[in-house]
C-alpha cells in the first residue's frame, strides 16, 4: 500500500483534515448558491442539484491536484481522509431520515410486507437488467459479481468469501464497487430525476425504490425525486429511509441466499444463449496476474480509521456545513436550525457509542436509525418538539455536504476505473438501474393505497 496513505506525523494528519474541512465548506456553500439547474430531455427532464455540483467540483479538484496551488492540492492521503469523513458524515443523513421515519412508523407498519417485497425487487432487478447486458457485451463470469447486487461493502465480503477477490467474480464485484463509488450517485440522481419527471410512478414508490442500501446513492436519488415533488419531500425521504434500513439489514442476507444463487443460475442459463452471439472480451483485468488484481483491490477501499474525537469533530463540522447550506439554499436562519442540527448529532453520537459498546453486533447505521426513530416515535416524550426542531433542517441541505466529501475522495480511484473497460461500467450502471426500477415497480402496486 502506498506510503502516502500513512501520514508521517499527527500534525500532518490534522493539516490534511483541516484542508479537507475548509475545501468542503467552501464547495458546499458555493454549490447551494449555484442552485438547481433543470435540463429538459424531450418527454422528461433531469435536474442538476447542488449536490451534483458539489460532487463534480470536488472531483475536478482531485483530478487537477498537480496543477493547483498548495491550499487546493489534494494529496492521495487527503483523498482517503475525505473518504473516511464521508463514511461518518453519512451517519448524520441516516439520523435525519430516522427522525422522519419515527413519526411515520404507524403508517409504515401498514406496508411492512410491502417493504420486504420491494427489497426482493432490488435483488431480482439487479440481475434481470444487468446480466443480459453483460452477456451481450461478451463479459463472462465477471458478470456474476457485477450483477448480483449493487456491490457495496457487504457484496465485496460475500464474493470475497465465496470466490476470492482474484477470481472473475471478484473482479466483477470490484468493478461494480468502483463504478458505484465514482459515478453511482450521479447516475442514480439523473435516472431517478428523469423517471420521476415522467409521472408514471407514485412519488412514494420512487422513494421506496431509492432505498438501495447505499447511503450516498440513496441520498442522491431522494434529492432528485424530492426536487420534482417538493410537496411530498418529507414522505419521500421517510419511505426511502425505511427501505434503506431493510436493505442494510435483511437485504444483506437476501443478497447471500437469494440474489447470488439467482445470478449464478441466470448466468448458467443465459450464457449459452446470449454469450455465443458475442465475442468474449477481457472485461476486467483478465490479462493481469492475481498479484496485480490484489494490488488494485488494496488501492481502492481502505480509508483511514478515525477515532471517536475525530468522528465527533467531523459531525460538528458537517453540522456547520448543513447550517450554512440550509440558510443559503432554503432560507432558514442558522440559529433557528441549530437546535435541530445538535439533536441530529446527539442521535448519531448515542448510536455510535452503542455500536462500539455492543462490539459491533449490528452496523452503526442501524443503531443510529433506531435511536433517531425512537426520538420522534409518537409515544416518546417530547417527540413532537424534537420533530419540530429537526424539521427546520431540510434534508436536501444535508445531502450536499455528503456528496462534497464524496467528490473530494473520488480522484484516487480514477486509475483503477480506467483499467476496468467501458463494458463492465455499462453493466454496473444497468445493474444499479435495475435495482431502482424493479423496487419502484413493485412498490407501485401497493403504495397508492397510502
104 occurs within a structural domain: no
Lowest mean pLDDT among 141-150, 170-179, 271-280, 323-332: 271-280
Q: How far is CA 100 from CA 5, 39, 213, 351, 409, in A?
A: 38, 30, 18, 16, 29
In the predicted model, what is the mean pLDDT of the chain? 80
pLDDT in tens, 176-227: 877 776 677 888 888 998 999 898 999 989 998 888 777 778 888 888 898 8
**Residue 129 grid coordinates:** 437488467
Residue 147 located in a structural domain: yes
Q: Which residues, at least 6 apart from 114, have a Cβ–Cβ distance to it below 8 Å?
A: 208, 442, 443, 446, 447
In a domain? residue 229: yes
Residues 155/127, Cβ–Cβ less than 8 Å: no
In a domain, 435, yes or no: yes
pTM over 0.85: no
- The number of folded domains in the chain is 1
Does residue 324 lie in a domain region? no
Q: What is the mean pLDDT of residues 431-437?
A: 89
Q: Using CA atoms, how far apart are residues 224 and 227, in angstroms rounded to an integer?
A: 5
Task: Give the contacts of 169 (CB within 8 A, at least 6 positions apart).
Answer: 141, 142, 144, 145, 159, 162, 163
316 found inside a domain: no
Specify the pLDDT at position 298.
47
**Distance separating alpha carbons of residues 426 and 429, to the nearest angstrom:** 5
Domain membership of residue 435 as a residue range: 111-302+414-447
Residue 69: alpha-carbon gap to chain centroid: 31
Locate cell 450536499: which residue?
400
Strands 44-48 and 37-41: antiparallel
- The answer to whether residue 93 sits within a structural domain is no
Chain segment 27-73, per-residue pLDDT in tens: 999 999 988 877 776 656 666 778 888 888 998 998 888 888 888 88
Contact present, 319 and 341 (Cβ < 8 Å) = yes
Minimal CA–CA distance to 443: which of 260, 245, 217, 236?
A: 236
Cβ–Cβ under 8 Å, residues 269 and 239: no
Chain-centroid distance, C-alpha 204: 19
Which pLDDT score, from 0 to 100, does residue 443 have?
85
54 in any annotated domain: no
List the grid coordinates of 78: 487527503
Of residues 69, 84, 62, the one with CA closest to residue 17: 84
Q: Which three cell numbers stand for residue 280?
A: 468474449
Per-residue confidence (pLDDT) for residue 316, from 0 to 100: 95
Amino acid at each position: 500500500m502506498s506510503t502516502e496513505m500513512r501520514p508521517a506525523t499527527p500534525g500532518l494528519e490534522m493539516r490534511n483534515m483541516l484542508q479537507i474541512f475548509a475545501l468542503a465548506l467552501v464547495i458546499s456553500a458555493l454549490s447551494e448558491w449555484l442552485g438547481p439547474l433543470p435540463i429538459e430531455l424531450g418527454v422528461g427532464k433531469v435536474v442538476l442539484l447542488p449536490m451534483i455540483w458539489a460532487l463534480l467540483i470536488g472531483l475536478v479538484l482531485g483530478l487537477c491536484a498537480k496543477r493547483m496551488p498548495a491550499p487546493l492540492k489534494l494529496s492521495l492521503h487527503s483523498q482517503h481522509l475525505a473518504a473516511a469523513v464521508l463514511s461518518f458524515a453519512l451517519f448524520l443523513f441516516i439520523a435525519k431520515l430516522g427522525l422522519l421515519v419515527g413519526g411515520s412508523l404507524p403508517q409504515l407498519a401498514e406496508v411492512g410486507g410491502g417493504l420486504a417485497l420491494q427489497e426482493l425487487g432490488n435483488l431480482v432487478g439487479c440481475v434481470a437488467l444487468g446480466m443480459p447486458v453483460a452477456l451481450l457485451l461478451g463479459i463472462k463470469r465477471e458478470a456474476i459479481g457485477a450483477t448480483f447486487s449493487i456491490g457495496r461493502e457487504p457484496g465485496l465480503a460475500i464474493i470475497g468469501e465465496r470466490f476470492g477477490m482474484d477470481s472473475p467474480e471478484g473482479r466483477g464485484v470490484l468493478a461494480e464497487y468502483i463504478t458505484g463509488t465514482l459515478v453511482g450517485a450521479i447516475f442514480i440522481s439523473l435516472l431517478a430525476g428523469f423517471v420521476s419527471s415522467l409521472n408514471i410512478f407514485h412519488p412514494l414508490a420512487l422513494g421506496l425504490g431509492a432505498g438501495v442500501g447505499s447511503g450516498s446513492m440513496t441520498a442522491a436519488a431522494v434529492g432528485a425525486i424530492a426536487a420534482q415533488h417538493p410537496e411530498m419531500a418529507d414522505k419521500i425521504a421517510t419511505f426511502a429511509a425505511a427501505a434503506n434500513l431493510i436493505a442494510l439489514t435483511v437485504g444483506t442476507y437476501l443478497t447471500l441466499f437469494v440474489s447470488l444463487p439467482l445470478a449464478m443460475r441466470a448466468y448458467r442459463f443465459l450464457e449459452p444463449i446470449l454469450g455465443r452471439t458475442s465475442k468474449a472480451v477481457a472485461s476486467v483485468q483478465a490479462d493481469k496476474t492475481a498479484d496485480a488484481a490484489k494490488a488494485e483491490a488494496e488501492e481502492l477501499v481502505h480509508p483511514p480509521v478515525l477515532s471517536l474525537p475525530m468522528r465527533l469533530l467531523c459531525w460538528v463540522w458537517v453540522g456547520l456545513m448543513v447550517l450554512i447550506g440550509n440558510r443559503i439554499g432554503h432560507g432558514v436562519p442558522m440559529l433557528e436550525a441549530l437546535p435541530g442540527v445538535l439533536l441530529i448529532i446527539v442521535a448519531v453520537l448515542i448510536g455510535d457509542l452503542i455500536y462500539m459498546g455492543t462490539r459491533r453486533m449490528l452496523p452503526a447505521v442501524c443503531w443510529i436509525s433506531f435511536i433517531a426513530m425512537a426520538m420522534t416515535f409518537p409515544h416518546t416524550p417530547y417527540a413532537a418538539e424534537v420533530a419540530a426542531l429537526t424539521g427546520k433542517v431540510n434534508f436536501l441541505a444535508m445531502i450536499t455536504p455528503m456528496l462534497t466529501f464524496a467528490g473530494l475522495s473520488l480522484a484516487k480511484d480514477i486509475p483503477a476505473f480506467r483499467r476496468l473497460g467501458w463494458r463492465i461500467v455499462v453493466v454496473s450502471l444497468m445493474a444499479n438501474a435495475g435495482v431502482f426500477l424493479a423496487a419502484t415497480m413493485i412498490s407501485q402496486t401497493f403504495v397508492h393505497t397510502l
